[in-house]
Structure 1
Amino acid sequence: MRPLLDAPKPEWRRWAREVRAGLPDPSEAITAHLRAFLRSHGARRVLAYRALAGEPDLCALADEFELLTTRARFRPQPHLTLHPWHTATEPSRFGALQPPADAPQVPLDTVDAALLPALAYDRAGVRLGYGGGFYDRLLPGFAGLTVGVIPAALLVPALPRDPHDCPVAWLATEDGVQATGRSEA
């Protein structure tokens, strides 16, 4: 059973992990929808994530777009740096591949679209992440397309929202890509 809206985020995270554990892999369908969406918006340089267990895998987009990925840095304060996709060769503390510390960095203002993972999203584009706030620190001021990537079963009417949360403008599921009402042209 889905938590109540005023339930704390840890309860929502438990719920989302349980639901996600029982889902079929939507990666192929989501990737096909994203490919068409990104093409239609003229995106070339795309920030994507290296999938953790249970997240839709977007690796197949690397054959058509210049993919970038992130490295989590924890000092002096937690933040993400962007790097070419192919440089992700070492496991992160979270379990996904990441670029090594000395990999060449790419500035965020050169990115056309950012594809963001989550445990769940709501229809307004609010992201339930893992609790580190990395994307919420990265995205303020980002002018490109922001797309939440999520299985349809983890798209809910509303999630708890904090003032620092950066909602996405688009949501990609196995059913297609839809606007959240915050959509960029």
Structure 2
Amino acid sequence: MSFHQHSPAPSPDPAEGQAQLQYSESLTGNRGETPEEVLRHRKQDFRTLWRARRRELDPADRAEQSAVLTRTVLDWYLPRAHHRRAAVVMSYGSEPDTGPLRTALHEAGVEVLVPITEPERRMSWTAWHPGVEVARSPVAPIDEPVGERLGVDTFATVDLVLVPAQVVDTRGLRLGQGGGYYDRFLAGLEGLGRRENTGHDAGPAPSAVPLTVAMVFRHEFLTRGQVPSDEHDRPVDGVVTPDGFTWFGAGPS
């Protein structure tokens, strides 16, 4: 008869035990003590998931969808352009590629504005054209065009704002990168509309505030489920995917 001799179990490492507990809590949904903490964790979990899905998109599919998005925006916007001014995010990494769209708009005689990151997580805007001089942002690891900085008041004469998003739901609420830049900007547009409306019972002119549209890949428009949100999150007017535009609320006139 043989016997297997077992070594004594090692004493548990307190640090390792704490790390395992934290990991377990992250899986079981213990993601904060206050509603604000819980929401912050939910948003970050959502963001992590959709970032991963975007990175996993086949490069050929990403390029094809970006090209269709460009044609879709041009076909819808150019016949309806009033001021012939549009604000377009400068894409980075795995986002839908807006480079060809910006070039096509410029060649069609549309003034293209792009965002500039400012301190305190705010944005200004400046004109873009092919070959524009760029410089490193002092507040973000990105290169941005050099030029006159424009504030929210200039958007009284902008037709369309294409807003970045990780994912958008049917309420028009979007999940961005987490900096809050665009939610502050969208809130500013609401204020612009109120200023334009002052003293006029009929409300603001149709062009007082531009249409805001999130631009995402096909799978990033949630037709079921909702984006985690709170009262600080601002909806967009619509979403554009390679399948076309979807409008929320009244939509464009």
> Same fold judged by TM-score > 0.5?
yes
Are residues 1:69 and 2:137 paired? Answer: no
Give how far 1:38 is off. Answer: 1.0
Q: CA RMSD in A?
A: 2.1
Aligned amino acid, residue 181 of structure 2: F
Greater mean deviation of Cα atoms: 167-176 or 84-93: 84-93
Structure 2 CA distance for partners of 1:51 and 1:88, relative to 1, 3 Å: farther
By relative contact order (CA 8 Å, sep 6+), the higher-ranking structure is: 1
Write the deviation string for residues 14-61 of structure 1: whole angstroms up to 9, x where unpaired: 111111012221210001101111124325101001101111112223
Alignment of 1:117-136 (within 5 A): 117-136=164-183
Give how far 1:84 is off. Answer: 0.4
Give how far 1:91 is off. Answer: 4.1
Greater mean deviation of Cα atoms: 126-135 or 39-48: 39-48
Provide the aligned length of Structure 1 versus Structure 2.
177
Give how far 1:111 is off. Answer: 1.5
Structure 2 CA distance for partners of 1:167 and 1:182, relative to 1, 3 Å: farther
Give how far 1:95 is off. Answer: 4.8
Q: Distance in 2 between matches of 1:69 and 1:181?
A: 26
Q: Distance in 1 between matches of 2:247 and 2:80?
A: 13
The residue aligned with 2:229 is 161
Structure 2 CA distance for partners of 1:33 and 1:88, relative to 1, 3 Å: farther
Structure 2 CA distance for partners of 1:27 and 1:116, relative to 1, 3 Å: same
Selected match of 1:83 from 111, 115, 126: 126
Q: Distance in 1 between matches of 2:250 and 2:235?
A: 8
Give how far 1:136 is off. Answer: 1.0
Structure 2 CA distance for partners of 1:95 and 1:174, relative to 1, 3 Å: farther
Write the deviation string for residues 56-102 of structure 1: whole angstroms up to 9, x where unpaired: 1122233222211011101xx321001001346134465543124xx
Give how far 1:114 is off. Answer: 0.4
With normalisation by structure 2, the TM-score equals: 0.64
Aligned amino acid, residue 87 of structure 2: L
Selected match of 1:111 from 158, 161, 175: 158
Query: Which is richer in strand?
Result: 1
Query: Which is richer in helix?
Result: 2
Give how far 1:173 is off. Answer: 0.6
Give how far 1:108 is off. Answer: 2.6
Q: Distance in 2 between matches of 1:89 and 1:36?
A: 29
Aligned identity (percent) is 28
Are residues 1:59 and 2:93 paired? Answer: no
Higher CA-based Rg = 2
Q: Hey, which bits of structure 1, 4+ residues long, moved more than 6 A?
A: none
User: Which consecutive unaligned segments of at least 5 residues does structure 2 have?
Assistant: 1-28, 30-38, 193-208
Structure 2 CA distance for partners of 1:151 and 1:88, relative to 1, 3 Å: farther
User: Which consecutive unaligned segments of at least 5 residues does structure 1 have?
Assistant: none
Aligned amino acid, residue 47 of structure 2: R
